[in-house]
Structure 1
Amino acid sequence: MASQSQKKTPRAGFAALIGRPNVGKSTLLNALTGEKIAIVSPKPQTTRNRILGVVTRPEGQVAFIDTPGIHQAKGELNRYMVEAALSAAEEVDLVLFLIEPPQGETLDVTPGNRAILERLQKVGKPTFLVINKIDSIPKAKLLPLIALYGQEFPFAEVVPISAREKDGVEQLFQVVLGHLPEGEPLFAEDMLTDQQERVLVAEYIREQVLRHCRQEIPYSTAVLVDVFDESEREPRPGTPPGQLGGLIRIAASIYVERDSQKAILIGKQGQMLKLIGTDARKSVQRLLGAHVYLDLRVRVEARWSERAAGLRKLGYE
C-alpha cells in the first residue's frame, strides 16, 4: 500500500468549452458528466447560457463550463450569447477550444475559428485544441489538421475526440485534470450542475421546440416555467425502486415574437403543441424521477430577442 506521503494531492479547477456553433460542446459536456445537463440539437445556437457540469473523481474535480457558440452577433440575444462565451474564457483556469474537421477536401482554418483564436490570444489562458467528430474524418487528415492549427496558436495540448461516441473523452478529462492547480474540490462530491430543476425543465421543453418546429421558430422561442408544484412529489408507499413516484405539476409558457409564429407553434387543432408537450413530458419525467402533469401555453412577446428588457424578462440576464 502507498503511504500517505506518496498519495497524489488532488487537483481542482475550471475549464471552459469554447467554439463555433454546433461543434459538439454540449454533447461533450454530457459525455463528461454522464448526465444530460445541456440540451442538444442539430440547429445552431442551441445553447444560450453558460452551463456548469462538475466531474468529481478521487484524483480531483473539474468544473466544465459549456458556452454558447461564438458567431457573428446580430441582435441583442446573439450579442448576449457571444459575450457569455467570451467572458467565460477569462474566468477559468484553462480553455478547451473545440473544432470539427472541415467537410470538404481542403484543410483550412476557417475565418470564424481564426477570429476566436485572436480573442483567446488576448485572454492568455492555457488552451487545448480539442478536435471533435474525429469519426467523420480519415485518419490521414488528422495530423495535417493538427499541424495547420498549431501554426495559428500555441496550444498546450491537442486532444482528438468523438464526444458522441465517447471516444477520447476519458483521456481528455485526465489531461485537463493534469493541468489544473492542486487543491481541494470546489463543489460537493455529489454535485453535477448548478442548474435548478425548473431551469432544466424549461430547457427540455425548448429542446422539443427545436426538434419539431421548422427553421424560423426555434430562434424566436424562449421558455419560462410559471408553476412548479412539488406538493405531491413524494413517492406513494409501495412504489417499486426505479419506478416513477409521486406527481409534479408544471405550467410553462413558450414565448415567441409574432402571432404568426404562435399559430405555427400551436399547429392545426393544437397538434404541434401537443406533440411538443408529449415528448417534453417524457424527458422531464426521466429528469425528475416522478410523474409529471405538464401544461404548456404559447405567448407573444414582440421582438423580445432584440430588446434588453425582453431578454431580462425571459431570463437572459
Structure 2
Amino acid sequence: MTSPADTPYRSGFACLVGRPNAGKTTLTNALVGEKVGIVSNRPQTTRHAIRGVVHRPGGQLVLVDTPGLHKPKSLLGQRLNDVVRDTLSEVDVIVFCIPADQPVGAGDAFIARQLKEISTPVVTVVTKTDAAGKKAITQQLIAASQLVDAAEIVPVSAVSGEQVELLERLLIGMLPEGPPLYPQEQTTDEDTERQIAELVREAALEKVRQEVPHSLAVTVEEITRRPDTRNPGRDLVTVHASLHCERASQKPMLLGKGGETIKAIGSEARVGLEVLLGSRVHLDLHVTVLGEWQDDPKKLQRLGY
C-alpha cells in the first residue's frame, strides 16, 4: 500500500479558458481559497492572465485565469484573445469552462476548435451548477462531452463549493512531478498596483450602465503612506487613481448626479483595498476621457494592455 510520503510531489500550471462570463474567475478564487481576480456579470471582466496558487501537501497548482475567448471587435479584444492563445501553449492542463445555466453556443464551439489543435490535455468543467437544475446540468454535461475530447468532465459550483475539492485533486494529479514553483505564503503573482486598479474597476462595473464597462479602464497614479493618527502604529494609505472612459458622454455616468456614483464606487472599492493593503485607505478617484483607447496601440500600452 502506498503511503502519502511515497506519493510524488507535483507542480505545474492549469489554464482556465471559456467564453466571456463562464465563471472562470469565480472558480479560480474558489480553488485558491481567496480572491485573486475580480468578478462581475459583465463580459470581458478579466483583461489579462491572472495567476492564483493552490498549495496542498501533495502538490502546487498554479491556475492561470484568462480573458474570455470571443470574436474581437477592437484591438483590445484581439490582444485579449492573444493572451489566451499564448497561455494555452505554456500550461500542463487546460480547464475548459462551460456554464450550466446557458445553452452551449457558437462561442463554446469556437473555443473547442482551438483546443483540438493543441495537444495539452483538457478537463471540461460545467460551471455554475448552483444556477441550474439537475436535468439542465445533465443535458449540459452531454453537450459538453460532444464538444471536445476531454480527459474528464466535472460539474462544479464555485459558489456553493460543490466538487471544487474533487476538481482540485484531479488537476494536481495531472501535473508533472516537480518542486513547488512559488513560496508557501504566495497566492498570486499580481503586483499590488494592478490589484488596486482591478478592485476599483470591479466596483465601477457594478455601479455604471451597460455601455460604460467595455470602455472603462483604471490606472493607479500614486500611492503614499503616512502614520495613521486614528490607529497608532498603523499606516494610512492614500491611493490616487483615474477611471478612463472613451467618450465625453460617459463621464457624467461615472460621476453621477452630484458625484453620487463616483462616491459609491470609492466606498465599495475601499473595502477591498483595506483588506488588500492591511491599512485604512483614503481613495481619491478622478474620471478622464481617453478617446477610443480600445483601438489605439499607444493608449493601450499606457493602460497596460
**Into which bin does the TM-score normalised by the smaller protein fall?**
over 0.9
SS in 2 for 1:17: strand
- The CA distance in 1 between the partners of 2:149 and 2:54, in whole Å, is 27
Describe the shift of the 1:3–1:144 C-alpha distance in structure 2 as closer, same or farther (beyond 3 A). closer
AA at the equivalent of 1:276: I
1:108-147 matches, cutoff 5 A: 109-147=104-142
1:141-160 matches, cutoff 5 A: 141-160=136-155
Please state if 1:278 is matched with 2:267.
yes
SS in 2 for 1:275: helix
Q: 1:179 aligns with which of 169, 174, 180?
A: 174
Describe the shift of the 1:145–1:297 C-alpha distance in structure 2 as closer, same or farther (beyond 3 A). closer
Q: Answer yes or no: is the 8 Å Cα contact 1:227–1:250 preserved in 2.
A: yes
**Which residue matches 2:9?**
10
Please state if 1:230 is matched with 2:225.
yes
- The CA distance in 2 between the partners of 1:119 and 1:57, in whole Å, is 31
Q: 2:190 aligns with which of 195, 206, 213?
A: 195
- The CA distance in 2 between the partners of 1:158 and 1:252, in whole Å, is 42
State the identity %. Answer: 40
**Which residue matches 1:266?**
255
Please state if 1:249 is matched with 2:253.
no
- The CA distance in 2 between the partners of 1:206 and 1:138, in whole Å, is 33
**Which residue matches 1:287?**
276
What CA deviation, in whole Å up to 9, does each residue of 1:220-269 have, x standing for no partner? 111110111134489955x6xxxxx4211110111111221112211222
- The CA distance in 1 between the partners of 2:257 and 2:142, in whole Å, is 53
Please identify, of 50-59 and 254-263, the stretch whose mean Cα deviation from structure 2 is larger.
254-263
Please state if 1:301 is matched with 2:290.
yes
What CA deviation, in whole Å up to 9, does each residue of 1:96-117 have, x standing for no partner? 00001254xxxx6411111101
- Structure 1 residue 154: Cα displacement: 1.3
**Which residue matches 2:65?**
66
**Which residue matches 2:86?**
87
Please state if 1:35 is matched with 2:30.
no
What CA deviation, in whole Å up to 9, does each residue of 1:177-226 have, x standing for no partner? 01111111111111110111111111010011100000111111111101
Q: Answer yes or no: is the 8 Å Cα contact 1:257–1:302 preserved in 2.
A: yes
Q: Answer yes or no: is the 8 Å Cα contact 2:130–2:159 preserved in 1.
A: no
AA at the equivalent of 2:292: R
Please state if 1:204 is matched with 2:204.
no
Please identify, of 261-270 and 25-34, the stretch whose mean Cα deviation from structure 2 is larger.
261-270
Describe the shift of the 1:86–1:249 C-alpha distance in structure 2 as closer, same or farther (beyond 3 A). same
Describe the shift of the 1:229–1:261 C-alpha distance in structure 2 as closer, same or farther (beyond 3 A). same
Q: Answer yes or no: is the 8 Å Cα contact 1:235–1:246 preserved in 2.
A: no
CA RMSD of aligned residues (A): 2.0
- Structure 1 residue 309: Cα displacement: 1.0
Describe the shift of the 1:127–1:297 C-alpha distance in structure 2 as closer, same or farther (beyond 3 A). same
AA at the equivalent of 1:266: L
What CA deviation, in whole Å up to 9, does each residue of 1:84-104 have, x standing for no partner? 12221111001000001254x
- The CA distance in 1 between the partners of 2:194 and 2:112, in whole Å, is 31
AA at the equivalent of 1:225: V
- The CA distance in 2 between the partners of 1:133 and 1:148, in whole Å, is 15
SS in 2 for 1:49: coil
TM-score (norm 1): 0.91
Structure 1 residues without counterparts, runs of 5 or longer = 240-244
- Structure 1 residue 147: Cα displacement: 3.0
